[in-house]
């Protein structure tokens, strides 16, 4: 049976972790990067009893040279690239006029440039295969500006724009592109918040959407997924 390979950035926490776990259970061999080595080792142990496997690489994707290092690792380890999930991201609150002046650069580098750089490095392999699926983890903040969203929202608007352009450029090459726009979802950034579990979405909800979108026939693509808590945004 042909091995299936996936690539997930920021794959040790929250949505990224749920995506990796779901893929490994489905038999994928998943190349994962994150900033903390111990988190990567925990993920490997957690997934060791499932059918697929986890290939790890420590990288800070706010640094372009480390994104390129991860891309080389992927190309060395993976014979194909069936799925790429650009999930890594960072959120720092603040309004445009009051936030630290380096907020924009920090979030553009992590939330946008890392996806741009990694996709440019891996897409040629997908084009050669004439097959593959790219998921970009955008946000409801890619569509709606909100107080103290500042540079985060700017970076996520840009990531959605990147997804739209990529879709147009790759649609005749057999590669599907999906932008996912989640609202509030339980992750480390929401730890300690005094809210009922049902008020936010589960990370597994997003992971389920990734796999179900991938499993559509090659003649169909979900271009954008907007998913929000049942009771609305926070």
The conformation of residue 27, written as its DSSP 8-state character, comes to T
Tokens of 151: 């540079």
- Give the ranges where 109-175 is alpha helix by DSSP (H): 114-129, 150-170
- Which has the closest alpha carbon to 182: 203, 154, 152? 203
Active site (catalytic) residues? 152
Phi, psi of 10 (to 5 degrees): 60, 50
CB 121 within 8 A of CB 71: yes
Find where tokens 């790429």 sit. Answer: 84
């Amino acid at each position: 049976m042909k091995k299936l390979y996936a690539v997930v950035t920021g794959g040790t926490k929250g949505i990224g972790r749920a995506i990796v776990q779901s893929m490994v259970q489905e038999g994928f061999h998943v190349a994962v990067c994150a900033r903390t080595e111990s988190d990567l080792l925990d993920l490997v142990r957690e997934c060791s009893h499932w059918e697929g496997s986890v290939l790890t690489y420590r990288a800070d994707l706010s640094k372009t040279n480390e994104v390129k290092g991860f891309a080389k690792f992927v190309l060395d380890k993976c014979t194909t690239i069936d799925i790429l999930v650009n999930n890594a991201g960072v959120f720092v609150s603040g309004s445009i006029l009051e936030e630290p002046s380096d907020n924009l650069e920090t979030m553009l580098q992590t939330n946008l440039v890392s996806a741009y750089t990694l996709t440019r490095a891996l897409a040629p392999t997908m084009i050669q295969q004439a097959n593959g699926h790219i998921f970009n983890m955008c946000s409801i903040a890619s569509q709606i500006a909100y107080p103290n969203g500042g540079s985060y929202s700017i970076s996520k608007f840009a990531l959605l724009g990147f997804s739209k352009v990529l879709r147009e450029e790759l649609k005749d090459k057999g590669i599907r592109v999906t932008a996912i726009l989640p609202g509030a979802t339980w992750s480390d950034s929401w730890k300690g918040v005094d809210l009922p579990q049902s008020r936010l979405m589960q990370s597994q909800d997003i992971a389920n959407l990734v796999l179900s979108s991938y499993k559509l026939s090659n003649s169909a693509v979900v271009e954008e997924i907007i998913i929000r808590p049942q009771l609305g945004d926070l």
